Amino acid sequence: MLKRRIIIGLLFKNGVLHRTKKFIPDYRYTLRFVDLTHADEVFMIDVTPGAVFPELAFREGIKPYVEECFTPITMGGGIKTAEGASLVLRLGGDKAIISAKRASLIPDLAFKHGSQFVTVGLDYREGEAPLEKAMEIASLGAGEILLQNIDRDGSLSGYDIPFLKKVIGGGINCPVVIGSGCSGWADMEKALRAGADGCMTANIHHISKRAMISFKQRLYERGVPVRNEVAANRG
């Protein structure tokens, strides 16, 4: 069975790590508070208003994280052209994340780099449920979709499971990652059991260096197919 991914989301505004709730800077939570070792993937996203990827401040802000990270990295925020997306590779990234508003870039990027290179962020608000847009993104050749109900950003109120189920139930032909609202391993379990291929969190892993191991251990013990370093070391 394919392992489900637990993904750390690092959001940078003017080169500084921020929380999602009202995008408050996290000056206290520096590199040593982010467990880049046990994550399955890291999303590094520039949320600076009007940013055009890759801004200098973003490049400088992510540098120490890239140097310490040995898991796959997805980068984005302000990508407006196929050429801009390709710069991800030069910055040490493995995949590019583009906005659903830039869906027209998908075929070109998939042709040049393969579908697996293209992650498309579909942001929406409570009650919108843009199912047709999700289907369009998948049909254009996206490697995966990141669903984010932005009204839940930083709320710790749980992922938008109903919309996740609608997307997966619609027969979508690419992996689906869900973000926005996670408060802990129980929310991850609900999302992964509902069919998500990965869960992204942008707040809770800034709190403890050992949070990732703890969450993955709980999920593993409850039969959720996640990569578990503790179990692997025992065997």
Give the tens place of pLDDT for each residue, 177-187. Answer: 999 999 989 99
Q: Determine whether 11 is exposed, middle or buried from the number of CB atoms within 10 Å of its CB (0-12, 13-18, 19+).
A: buried
Please tell me the predicted confidence (pLDDT) of residue 163. Answer: 95
Question: What are the domain boundaries of the chain?
Answer: 11-234
Please tell me the predicted confidence (pLDDT) of residue 178. Answer: 98
Q: Which of 38-52, 183-197, 204-218 has the lowest mean pLDDT?
A: 204-218
CA dist., res. 217 & res. 221, Å (int): 6
Domain 11-234 class in CATH? alpha beta
What positions carry a catalytic annotation?
A: 123
- CA-nearest of 59, 4, 10 to 34 is 10
pLDDT digits (tens, 9 = 90+) for 133-152: 999 999 999 999 999 999 99
The DSSP result for 23-79, as a single string, is G-B-SS--GGGS-TTT-SEEEEEE--TT--SSPHHHHHHHHHHHHH--S-EEEESS-
CA dihedral of 87, 90, 94, 97, whole degrees rounded to 10? -20
